[in-house]
Structure 1
Amino acid sequence: MITGLNAANAYSAARSAVSPDAGSAPRMLERVGQAAEDFAAQMAQVDAVSTRAMTGQLSTQELVQTIAEAELTLNTVVAIRDKVVEAYQDILRMPV
């Protein structure tokens, strides 16, 4: 037979098992911020390389390589954004 005390004890045990660490949120935000800065730096690098290629200071091969790296970075950022939006929509659909 399940009693109120048994249910409360089970709830307390489950709650501590799934609660996030106290310091994990600031670290997560720091990592997200660093990733955003890295993305911005990558896009700035593409701009600089493109300018150098247009003025003849850089070979076409180096330009294509830099653009390919930027495309991979952009695809990764878009995939992460899509996952975050999907998770947010799943949370909104949850019954309360």
Structure 2
Amino acid sequence: MVIQATQAPRGYIAAKPALTPTQKPANAGESFQAAATNFAAGLQETEATAKAAMVGKADPHALVMALTQSELAIETASTLRDKVVEAYQEIMRMPV
């Protein structure tokens, strides 16, 4: 097998389109609003699945998946909140 020095850059160039965003991001306000809406909708879906599982109308596997997804969403929101608070505190410590 012959390996050329130009194979690696070609591979990176070929992979780059898969890593770039396909659409232009919205402004920050719309992004945060969409994230909050998706977060709330996910929690409502998990709650509905949990209620259905309590009365025997939902698959236990679906309940576990819903709970795992909601746990991940809550951890992400908590981490994001912590980072925002940390950034705010850092800004407040800056001398004027």
| TM-score, length basis structure 1 | 0.71
**1:33 equivalent in alignment to 2:15:** no
RMSD: 1.6
The equivalent of 1:88 in structure 2 is: 88
**Which runs of 5 or more structure 1 residues have no equivalent in the other structure?**
1-23
1:76 partner amino acid: T
Once the two structures are superposed, residues 12-42 of structure 1 have per-residue CA deviations (whole angstroms, 9 ceiling, x without a partner) of xxxxxxxxxxxx99x1011001100000000
Deviation at 1:59, TM superposition (A): 1.4
| TM-score, length basis structure 2 | 0.71
Return the alpha-carbon distance in structure 2 between the equivalents of residues 81 and 37 of structure 1. 16
Q: Percent identity?
A: 42
Return the alpha-carbon distance in structure 2 between the equivalents of residues 77 and 37 of structure 1. 12
Q: Could you list the structure 1 runs, at least 4 aligned residues long, displaced by more than 3 angstroms after superposition.
A: none
Deviation at 1:84, TM superposition (A): 0.3
**1:50 equivalent in alignment to 2:41:** no
Deviation at 1:92, TM superposition (A): 0.4
Name which one, 1 or 2, has greater alpha-carbon Rg: 1
Structure (1/2) with the larger helix percentage: 1
Return the alpha-carbon distance in structure 2 between the equivalents of residues 41 and 60 of structure 1. 21
How many residues end up aligned between the 2 structures? 72
The equivalent of 1:71 in structure 2 is: 71
Quick one: higher RCO (CA 8 Å, sep 6+), 1 or 2?
1
